[in-house]
């Protein structure tokens, strides 16, 4: 079993999700993606495991998005590159277990990975 949480320690939802994860297992890796940004390929893999489109991983209320990208027509590759350059744009927290993942904006949703 391989579990990762892409975590922002200043985000309340991320903190709540981490606490729920700790109740389920101690065998996981914490990735503070703002300190250790993901590569293009890593973001692409996360999107695949979440089974979403890259645009669905974007925090659309972030100032960076509103000022630089909102309203522009962008390909999936361009969106992933934007996240690679600006990790703050990546929705959080993300929990990946093996080949599946969930965005924990509702922290309890990550528990479904353990069913």
- Residues marked as catalytic: 11
Distance of CA 8 to CAs 87, 91, 92, 100, Å? Answer: 11, 10, 7, 20
> Which residues lie closer than 8 Å to 93 by C-beta, 6 or more apart?
5, 6, 7, 8, 11, 13, 14, 17, 18, 103, 104, 107, 110
């Amino acid at each position: 079993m391989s579990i990762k949480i892409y975590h922002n320690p200043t985000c309340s939802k991320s903190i709540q999700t981490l606490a729920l994860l700790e109740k389920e297992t101690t065998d996981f890796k914490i990735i503070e993606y703002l300190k250790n940004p993901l590569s293009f390929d890593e973001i692409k893999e996360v999107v695949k495991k979440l089974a979403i489109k890259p645009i669905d991983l974007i925090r659309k209320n972030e100032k960076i998005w509103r000022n630089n990208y909102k309203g522009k027509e962008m390909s999936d590759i361009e969106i992933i590159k934007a996240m690679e350059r600006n990790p703050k744009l990546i929705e959080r927290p993300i929990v990946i277990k093996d080949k599946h993942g969930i965005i924990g904006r509702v922290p309890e949703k990550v528990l479904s990975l353990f069913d």
